[in-house]
Structure 1
Amino acid sequence: MKKYMKLTAAALAAAMALSLTACGGGAGSSGSTATDSGSAATSATGEEAALGGEEVTIKFANYALLESGYTEFWEGVKTGFEEKYPNITIEWVTAPYGEIVNQVINQAGGGDMPDMMFGESTWVPTLVDAGLAIPVSEVFDEEYLNKFDQNALESCMMDGEVCGLPMYDCAFMLFYNKDLFEQAGLDPNTPPTTYDEMLEMAEKLSQLTTADGNKVYAFGQTTSSVAISGSALNSMIFNFGGTVLDENGQLSIDNQGFKDAITMLKTLDEKGYNPQNAKLKDLRQLFATGQLAMYYDQSWGFNGVTTINPDAANFAASAMPLKGGDGDGASMLSGQILLYMDNGDAQREACRLLTEYMLTEDVLGDYIRNITPAYPVIEDMKDMELNPVLEGARDATQNAVNSPSIPMLNDLNLELCTLAQNVTVGGADVDTAIEDFRSAAQNYVA
């Protein structure tokens, strides 16, 4: 395992070079201190007895404080937690989504490392490689970690250690517009299950226009040059039974599923079904305004849709990821997570208390049901009511897989975007584009 507290100049430089523009969401090393302190805290008659009454400040890095719709929840967490534990204060460290990772790394390099961070599972390799994120086993005991969906925990794994704690998760799933299905003469309760079925439906859906004469796109897959688009493309490759990396993090693209997925991207573009070079936020805009019939997104992307059109829940539905070629429709598991840094026993213990306070249905339930629609990952919340729009893809996370984590995963994802653009906007043939991708991708794998 890496030495987590060592911030090398090379690691800092590599991490600062990353651009994460996208969809915009203790113990000692043995773990014994967390268990003992936790027992003392829970057995005390007053919650203020936590940490023996010691005054502790948690520096919590969280980009969501700056995003409309999320601030109220997070400020509510701060208020409720500080009322329960009056000797512990939460101090927010904020920056926009695309800047928060670099800010945390810069602060740590200057000797001001946060205690915990809200982020995404794809950030784990960067923060571990920079010497920041520590294994969650240094904060939580085995009994608590066993309550989590193990697939979700594995999505946060790096170098054989789980280095992030999932708050909730989803797979890249299909959203579709029931009203447009009806207008095209399709059954709104029978979405496609395969890419072949999708293409048949897309032919009818592509003939529609909006009331003001705008084109309706049949199917949306993000291909813009941002890391999250690369994750979505990787997920599409999984749909076809393909791979980008093998289990050891080595390039593994000599498989039919990989080629079939890239060929499908070209087909969608040639037929005019997929908006070219679109970001997820572009697809959400089109879907919200009735200009996109089907598209792939993470579950919490629906928040962006309803922000644009509050009535979207009346026409939107979700479905399982499509099956392509010899694939079974597997998708990539995607999660929003908590990461932890090592600033000493008191800080880790305070972070443990905050986490266990948040990850309950009383605190988190309404948030993942109505604000950031997602699926619970902790046993105590498994039977909670979901956002109705997510019901059609309820089982998608059970068929989801994790891509191996490598330090330069974001760069590799950007190369996937370049590959997608080459066969669409660039008009390159699939075989040539794949070979160009192979040459570029070799720079990012060991």
Structure 2
Amino acid sequence: MKMWKKIAQGISAVSLLAILAACGSNGNSTTGPSNSASQQSTSSASPSAKETPTGETVEITFANWISVEEGTKEAYNQLIADFEAKNPNIKVKSLGIPFQQFKDQVLVNSAGGNAPDVSMANQNFTAAFVGAKVAAPIEDWVGAEIVSDIVEGSKSGVTYNGKVMAMPWAPHPNALFWNKALFQKAGLSPEKPPATWDEMTEMAKKIAALGKDEAGNPIYGIGENAATDSYTGNMLLRATLTYGGKFIDEKGTIVWDQGTALGDTLNHIKDLISSKVSPKGSDMKSLRGMFANGTLGMLIDGDFGRTNFRKMSGKGEAFDKEWGVTVVPAGKTGRSETVFTEHQLIITEGGKNKEAAAKFVTYLVSKDAMLIYHRLNGVMSSLKSVSSLPEMNEDEYANVFNEQMKTASPLPASNPKFDNAMKQASDMIVITTDANKSAEEAITLVMPKIKELYNQ
């Protein structure tokens, strides 16, 4: 594809060698729980996988970002230890890559003949991997039974031209976290989160009116992403759904700028930032830090939020008493609109050990693995049979995210240029907040560039 050639040609040999060297370190493993094999455990091979000869050890490479992120390192270590205990003839070599460099490094490695056997992905990345022919059709390797068990919203997000090209792993629907202490200080009920979009906005303004905390740090009512990156574009799209908008129609034509939804969303975010209800220019990492240190009243984030906030606050589980989580308040459409910011798994076309890779992917989505990941990071499952287990619905936190999954939408990421489009989209927020332009001017400046990416 043209995009693939540009990426491969645009990187010098020196850069390629540096990237490959940076990706070659092993992830550390610690001994984790060895649960009994589940119905989908890798103690048995997938329908189309061949058995590895007894006594022969196979090493597979796993490109991921969870082994290098503080909040998920422990889960990664326990998952690998459990898998290797159940599959002593398969060893997993970690290619830990920071999230911001992940997509490009996997594409470069694959172009250079060094494709990992298994790679993490998300909606933004998978489209690029499929377009560059990095991803192998997942059903060919894990079998139809597991694919048929995928939650429909997740399954549609990984289907390209009728083929399921990635295995949804953790769906990460976004819900609303609120800080009970700040609610109380602002004269709001700490046990009563907003039920509507307008109510959420008014509560955010009351919290921001508190001014500063005891240390002199500014207090904000809600955090909206406003940095120049593709995640900001994703969150802009998520907010647009609340106003009745959508990115593409059924034919794949971009319709985001039709109607008033995009303009209404940009005006909403501009108003929050200009009135200092939401911080200016913040990315998701900084917003999570503000929520964890008690200077942000509300934040829409994924199911891994609890673990992140515990660690970032330094208070551990005790911090749970200071916040709550609920479904995203309903807006113009009358329902809770949000998106999956899903983690996915691909078996690469250029991988050298597809049978072992299939066992690993099958394990990672199994009951055994998801119970480890859920216990440590609160993540949910994209498989119907696993997400319905009592162990995955053991508290109010899990119940909220399972409820949120019912109305979460997959990102419309089937085009390989979607990630690029979302990065371009973030410019609309920067233009309206930093350059103080109108929503209409921002749309006029940016949307033609997005449509050009799609050849429209």
Q: Which amino acid aligns with 1:237?
A: T
Which segment is superposed worse, 373-382 or 111-120? Answer: 373-382
Listed one character per residue, the Cα deviations across residues 321-359 of structure 1 (whole Å, up to 9, x for unaligned) are 232334533211221111111357x82221222222232
Paired residues of 1:287 and 1:305 also in contact (CA < 8 A): yes
Indicate the residue corresponding to 1:83 in structure 2.
85
Structure 1: 5+ residue runs without aligned partners? 18-37, 44-48
Equivalent of 1:434 in 435, 440, 443: 443
Equivalent of 2:278 in 250, 274, 277: 274
SS across alignment from 1:342? coil
Equivalent of 1:331 in 318, 330, 338: 338
Paired residues of 2:60 and 2:353 also in contact (CA < 8 A): yes
Question: Alpha-carbon deviation of 1:97?
Answer: 1.9
Equivalent of 1:413 in 416, 419, 422: 422
Paired residues of 2:123 and 2:411 also in contact (CA < 8 A): no
Indicate the residue corresponding to 1:401 in structure 2.
409
- In 1, distance between residues paired with 2:334 and 2:260? 10
SS across alignment from 1:337? strand
Normalised by the length of structure 2, the TM-score is 0.83
Aligned 1:259-298 pairs, distance under 5 A: 259-298=263-302
- In 2, distance between residues paired with 1:83 and 1:196? 52
CA distance 1:103–1:80, change in 2 (3 Å): same
- In 1, distance between residues paired with 2:182 and 2:206? 10
Equivalent pairs, count: 415
- In 1, distance between residues paired with 2:307 and 2:123? 19
- In 2, distance between residues paired with 1:332 and 1:269? 22
CA distance 1:403–1:40, change in 2 (3 Å): closer
Indicate the residue corresponding to 1:140 in structure 2.
142
Paired residues of 1:222 and 1:229 also in contact (CA < 8 A): yes
Paired residues of 1:249 and 1:445 also in contact (CA < 8 A): no
Indicate the residue corresponding to 1:9 in structure 2.
5
1:375 aligns with 2:368: no
- In 1, distance between residues paired with 2:42 and 2:170? 28
Computed over aligned residues only, the root mean square deviation of the Cα atoms, in angstroms, reads 2.8
Paired residues of 1:257 and 1:327 also in contact (CA < 8 A): no
1:363 aligns with 2:364: no
Equivalent of 2:360 in 348, 351, 354: 354
Which segment is superposed worse, 7-16 or 90-99? Answer: 7-16
Question: Alpha-carbon deviation of 1:232?
Answer: 1.0
Paired residues of 2:229 and 2:423 also in contact (CA < 8 A): yes
- In 1, distance between residues paired with 2:324 and 2:8? 42
CA distance 1:325–1:79, change in 2 (3 Å): closer
Normalised by the length of structure 1, the TM-score is 0.85
- In 1, distance between residues paired with 2:199 and 2:381? 30
- In 1, distance between residues paired with 2:207 and 2:41? 59
Indicate the residue corresponding to 1:229 in structure 2.
232
- In 2, distance between residues paired with 1:63 and 1:169? 16
Paired residues of 2:141 and 2:358 also in contact (CA < 8 A): yes
Question: Alpha-carbon deviation of 1:260?
Answer: 1.6
Listed one character per residue, the Cα deviations across residues 168-208 of structure 1 (whole Å, up to 9, x for unaligned) are 11222211101111222212222112221122222321222
Listed one character per residue, the Cα deviations across residues 37-86 of structure 1 (whole Å, up to 9, x for unaligned) are x999749xxxxx94342542212112222222423332333332223222
Q: Which amino acid aligns with 2:425?
A: L
Paired residues of 1:40 and 1:50 also in contact (CA < 8 A): no
CA distance 1:184–1:394, change in 2 (3 Å): farther
Paired residues of 2:121 and 2:344 also in contact (CA < 8 A): yes
1:319 aligns with 2:322: no
Question: Alpha-carbon deviation of 1:11?
Answer: 5.5
CA distance 1:193–1:409, change in 2 (3 Å): same
SS across alignment from 1:376? coil
Paired residues of 1:333 and 1:401 also in contact (CA < 8 A): yes
SS across alignment from 2:52? helix
Indicate the residue corresponding to 1:94 in structure 2.
96
SS across alignment from 1:234? helix
Indicate the residue corresponding to 1:51 in structure 2.
52
- In 2, distance between residues paired with 1:386 and 1:222? 31
Indicate the residue corresponding to 1:160 in structure 2.
162
Paired residues of 1:240 and 1:323 also in contact (CA < 8 A): no
CA distance 1:282–1:66, change in 2 (3 Å): same
- In 1, distance between residues paired with 2:91 and 2:270? 52
Which segment is superposed worse, 228-237 or 315-324? Answer: 315-324
Indicate the residue corresponding to 2:32 in structure 1.
none
Paired residues of 1:238 and 1:329 also in contact (CA < 8 A): no
Paired residues of 1:360 and 1:380 also in contact (CA < 8 A): no
Paired residues of 1:7 and 1:109 also in contact (CA < 8 A): no
- In 2, distance between residues paired with 1:445 and 1:320? 33
Equivalent of 2:199 in 187, 190, 197: 197
Paired residues of 1:11 and 1:129 also in contact (CA < 8 A): no
